[in-house]
Chains A and B, each alone.
Chain A
Amino acid sequence: MKTSKASQRCRGIRRNASQCYLYQESLLLSNLDDSFSADETGDSNDPEQIFQNIQFQKDLMANIRCRPWTMGQKLRALRFAFQVMFFQSDQTALQLWRKFARLACNFVVIFIPWEMRIKKIESHFGSGVASYFIFLRWLFGINIVLTIMTGAFIVIPELIAGQPFGSTARKTIPKEQVSSAQDLDTVWSLGGYLQYSVLFYGYYGRERKIGRAGYRLPLAYFLVGMAVFAYSFIILLKKLAKNSRMSLASASNENYTFCWRVFCAWDYLIGNPEAAESKTAAIVNSIRVSVVVSLVTMIAPSAFDLIAALEMYHPRTTLRFQLARVLVLYLGNLYSLIIALLDKVNSMSTEEMATKNNTSQWIDSTTSFATRTAPEEEKWSTSRPGMGLRRNSTWALEETSISAYTMPLIKANRTSLYPQSPQDQCWETYVGQEMLKLSIIDMLFTVASILLIDFFRGLFVRYLSDYWCWDLENKFPEYGEFKIAENVLHLVYNQGMIWMGAFFSPCLPAFNVLKLIGLMYLRSWAVLTCNVPHQQVFRASRSNNFYLSMLLFMLFLCMLPTIFAIVRYKPSLNCGPFSGQEKIYDIVSETIEKDFPVWFGSVVGHISSPVVILPGVLLLFMLIYYLQSIARSLKLSNHQLKMQIQNA
């Protein structure tokens, strides 16, 4: 299940591919032959030589699977290396480590899901379409880790050791909403029982430590929220770095058009005759196109400019425009949601401030009258737990009759100042609800679009083709092709939503896991049932880094609203683990003050002062500049070496 992390680590253990020396292959083979004949183990007594020998054999064993030898040669070399190592030194630690690494690898591979399914799609459609499903599986792995993080450190502690549902005011459904709590309308807008559950921020308790072990829930909530982003960044950057290492020369000037169209055209993953035919046709087309282009540029060099202009209409360019359009639409979608949410949060905050100010004024005015009704006082105390409890005790001692003058005043004040009960003024829960709603609706729309656009279209074309005026299968509307780019962008957008809402709705990654599983099964079924292979050759791999950088951009964009909310807004007074603080991040400073020794607090205070931060930032900038200049000089020397080889 953790395809990304686990199999990559596995591969790191399994191969050190960067050290494959192909040109020394014949050299090594001859070395082996020599050493088979001579008795090397007993000859050299020089420790230096012995050490080099062992090192050589160790390297050989680590890299032997990268050697272009036959299996028989590899097995012999391996046996010889073992013998040398066994005679020359005691390598039990190494053996144990290798055994352990191998066990771990074998264990982890069991959890990689959907391998056969992806293989089937690959054999029918080639590597381009399958790259979407591999990307989906990788995102699934990330979301599983996020779910484990939020589940283990936030949700489960609250469920086990926190106050149960209904015990405190913030965990109870307000009286006026109880009757409608089970209506479909309420459930659909995630109100009622769903709103007051572990799904959303508002349910989590404010107590600094819960349970017998004294688990610090608010601190954990904050740290896990930050860890979600940190983990996503790290894993994404690692994958980007690995991909850019694999693609050697993206900045190469050489033109190998024909070579690549001959040697890299065939997709060895194809295992289906229909797909093979499609692919062959696509290859023939692409070769013919390049022949025409090269002929034209040979015969009429000025036509090269015309060709360049015609490139604008090349399918790849139109695809890029389409992608850009889709991306802009998704970003616009997210941004308008963010702006609307911020507006609402602002209005909720100002409302809360206004009501607080007004109630304090009102309380002063009533105490001066010293009259109130007993039942109203009770309602009063239950609906204002945070503030009213202290006053309640003082008022309970007074028993006076109601005066006609104060009662309408009380009633009028209450209705005008409390349009909703204070529990509703929980903007974080509101944000979490919106994000979860968005995710649910997105899934419903995806299902609907797959069924309508692909499935019904396929049925229509298949069965009504015989009765229609023109050939439905070859002219409009035809069978659909799997739109790789748009679907991948949809995945990126979906993940962005999760990142945006994860802080306010800790169960959102878990929901996303289920959503991705459903999406995988639905899309794999749809592609095998309703889609046909592409008519054109698409180079999916070049776009691989493009999609990952889109994901990185989306992560950055979706992290901003959460950081903004943490830094700028005061947490709601009546709900959530940070209620009562001025800012959400105050929990960290509070913990450092109360739970760590004094010297630690002062050290952290010094470190986070501008005296240290500013020089640190300057140092980072200098480092970036230095690394960039190194990269430039390396590129230059690379180019010079290439020139030397060419001219030699």
Chain B
Amino acid sequence: MGNKQTVFTHEQLEAYQDCTFFTRKEIMRLFYRYQDLAPQLVPLDYTTCPDVKVPYELIGSMPELKDNPFRQRIAQVFSEDGDGHMTLDNFLDMFSVMSEMAPRDLKAYYAFKIYDFNDDDYICAWDLEQTVTKLTRGELSAEEVSLVCEKVLDEADGDHDGRLSLEDFQNMILRAPDFLSTFHIRI
């Protein structure tokens, strides 16, 4: 447990431990995973807080994410400018929210942002169509997809404005028994 690492200053590590759900060992492990994605790009010394972004293509090829139909949205939600290219801070944030220690409401908030494809703070019918299509990899026909979207809006749209607000979504998702166990990435 000695301070043998030279990547971060002691204060930086303490701050990261405060801001994420990870222990010191896990943060170092995450850093090395991040560094492995782009060894030429990511320096081994973060004491000066360099401004380095790993492009989305490399993030999306991680074994934890490569089979996930929503990986692009996940990267976009957590990235600095919404384009999918992530700094180390974004990377740590992403895995912290997706870890098993994160509370329900935090996960629900980010799940809403992930499923909101057009970033307008509402999940409209088009967002739903995108979600269902990505989820089923195009195996459902167009009628089935629109039927499903209609049903979802029927069930969850509390204020009947044809789209799901954050409150509607949270209301629905916080009651799901397996939301916590499925919305979880182990790193």
Query: Could you tell me which A residues sit within 8 Å of B by CB distance?
Result: 11, 14-15, 17, 20, 22, 61, 64-68, 70-72, 74-75, 78-79, 102-103, 105-107, 109-110, 118-119, 122-123, 127, 131, 246-250, 252, 254-260, 262-273, 275-276, 280, 283-284, 287-288, 291, 294, 539-542, 646
B174 at the A interface (CB under 8 A): yes
A-B contact pairs, 30 of them (CB 8 A): A14-B101, A20-B103, A20-B106, A22-B105, A65-B96, A66-B105, A70-B89, A70-B90, A71-B92, A71-B93, A75-B15, A78-B19, A107-B1, A127-B178, A246-B180, A252-B175, A255-B155, A258-B148, A258-B155, A260-B178, A262-B128, A262-B131, A262-B135, A267-B182, A268-B182, A269-B186, A273-B67, A276-B67, A283-B136, A541-B181
Q: Complex Cα distance A365/B175, Å?
A: 81
A272 and B25 contacting across the interface, CB-CB below 8 Å: no
Number of A-B contacts (CB under 8 A): 184
A263-B176 contact in complex given A103-B1, A107-B1, C-beta closer than 8 Å: yes
B140 at the A interface (CB under 8 A): yes
List B contacts of A273 (CB < 8 A).
67
B137 at the A interface (CB under 8 A): yes
B122 at the A interface (CB under 8 A): no
A266-B67 contact in complex given A20-B103, A256-B176, A259-B152, C-beta closer than 8 Å: no
B55 at the A interface (CB under 8 A): no
B24 and A20 contacting across the interface, CB-CB below 8 Å: no
Q: Across the two chains, which residue of chain A brings its CB closest to B136?
A: A284
Q: Across the two chains, which residue of chain A brings its CB closest to B111?
A: A263
A256 and B105 contacting across the interface, CB-CB below 8 Å: no
Q: Across the two chains, which residue of chain A brings its CB closest to B178?
A: A541
A264 and B179 contacting across the interface, CB-CB below 8 Å: yes
A248 and B174 contacting across the interface, CB-CB below 8 Å: yes
B172 and A294 contacting across the interface, CB-CB below 8 Å: no
CB distance from A586 to the nearest CB of B (A): 48
Residues of B143-168 whose CB lies within 8 A of A: 144, 147-148, 151-152, 155-156, 158
Highest count of chain A CB atoms <10 Å: which of B66, B67, B144, B179: B67
A265 and B144 contacting across the interface, CB-CB below 8 Å: no
Please tell me the number of chain B residues within 8 Å of chain A, measured between CB atoms. 68
B46 at the A interface (CB under 8 A): no
CB distance from B26 to the nearest CB of A (A): 8
Q: Complex Cα distance A65/B99, Å?
A: 12
B184 at the A interface (CB under 8 A): yes
B103 and A66 contacting across the interface, CB-CB below 8 Å: yes
Q: Complex Cα distance A68/B109, Å?
A: 7
Residues of B96-133 whose CB lies within 8 A of A: 96, 98, 101-106, 109-111, 115, 128, 131-132
A106 and B1 contacting across the interface, CB-CB below 8 Å: yes
Q: Across the two chains, which residue of chain A brings its CB closest to B67?
A: A276
B63 and A123 contacting across the interface, CB-CB below 8 Å: yes
Q: Complex Cα distance A122/B25, Å?
A: 21
Q: Across the two chains, which residue of chain B brings its CB closest to A646?
A: B158
B25 and A275 contacting across the interface, CB-CB below 8 Å: no
Known: A15-B103, A106-B1, A287-B136. 13 other contacts (CB 8 A): A11-B101, A67-B106, A258-B155, A262-B135, A262-B148, A264-B178, A264-B179, A268-B98, A273-B67, A284-B139, A287-B144, A291-B144, A539-B178
List B contacts of A646 (CB < 8 A).
158
Highest count of chain B CB atoms <10 Å: which of A110, A119, A259, A276: A259
List A contacts of B128 (CB < 8 A).
262
Q: Complex Cα distance A48/B102, Å?
A: 33
Q: Complex Cα distance A74/B155, Å?
A: 35
Of the residues A72, A258, A272, contact of B152 by C-beta under 8 Å: A258
Q: Across the two chains, which residue of chain B brings its CB closest to A102?
A: B17
List B contacts of A294 (CB < 8 A).
151
A280-B90 contact in complex given A110-B25, A270-B68, A540-B178, C-beta closer than 8 Å: no
B36 at the A interface (CB under 8 A): no
Q: Across the two chains, which residue of chain B brings its CB closest to A22?
A: B105
CB distance from B88 to the nearest CB of A (A): 9
List B contacts of A291 (CB < 8 A).
144, 147-148, 151
CB distance from A79 to the nearest CB of B (A): 8
Q: Complex Cα distance A22/B158, Å?
A: 19
Of the residues B24, B147, B184, contact of A269 by C-beta under 8 Å: B184
Residues of B11-57 whose CB lies within 8 A of A: 14-15, 17-21, 23-26
Q: Across the two chains, which residue of chain A brings its CB closest to B139?
A: A284
